[in-house]
Amino acid sequence: MSPTQESQDTRLSRRFVLTLTSLMGLMGASGIAALSNFLFFKPRVTYGEPSRFRVGPPESFPLGTRLPLGSQRVTLVRGEAGVAAISNTCTHLGCVVSTTEIGFDCPCHGSRYDADGTVLGGPAPRPLSWFKVSLAPNGEIEVDTSTPVPQGTYLAV
């Protein structure tokens, strides 16, 4: 056997290389498909803030309190008439409004609201939402953000 004939026998044929790369591509695509199917059936649940939450006893909120609750996007207000919960979500595009001494200001587009959430200026189409406030069985104030109430609805405490 000559050296050229021996080197020709050890070389891989084109057909073998194409078959090998095709099989590797098919196996890789099958593996990716199986992995994506596994990830598809795995639940991806994100839990938001609860719509009902307690903020404490009425005695802990003195008259004139305007307490923004950041994670719940609500401002708790205590006035002469009682306790109320006003939304911190701008009615224009859903930005979080900041609570000020005289009302609410939207930092995104300049909407301004008075202390009751009525629109004073800017592009906001309607006043801020008010939410149901009640007393829990243990005597704490409970806010339910899933139940809107008419503007000016206070819980007498």
The answer to whether position 62 is within a domain reads yes
CA distance 132 to 24: 62
Q: Which residues pair with 98 in a beta bridge?
A: 105
Look up the domain containing 129 and give its range: 52-149
Instruction: Please give the angle made by the CA atoms of 56, 58 and 62, to the nearest 5 degrees.
Output: 110
Q: Which tokens belong to 154?
A: 């206070």
The answer to whether position 46 is within a domain reads no
* Domain co-membership, 15 together with 37: yes
* Domain co-membership, 77 together with 135: yes
The answer for residues whose C-beta is within 8 angstroms of residue 120's C-beta and 6 or more apart is: 103, 112, 113, 114
CATH of the domain at 118: 2.102.10.10
At 22, give phi and psi (nearest 5°).
Answer: -65, -45
Answer for the pair 75, 69: CB distance below 8 angstroms, yes or no. yes
* Domain co-membership, 60 together with 98: yes
Q: Give the chain's domain count.
A: 2
* Assessment of whether the complete model's pTM goes beyond 0.85: no
- CA-nearest of 145, 154, 119, 126 to 54 is 145
The answer to whether position 100 is within a domain reads yes
List per-residue pLDDT tens for the chain, 157 residues long.
Answer: 555 555 556 788 999 999 999 999 999 999 999 999 888 887 777 676 678 888 888 888 888 888 888 788 899 988 888 899 999 988 888 888 888 888 888 888 888 998 888 898 888 888 999 999 999 888 889 999 888 899 888 888 7
* Domain co-membership, 34 together with 56: no
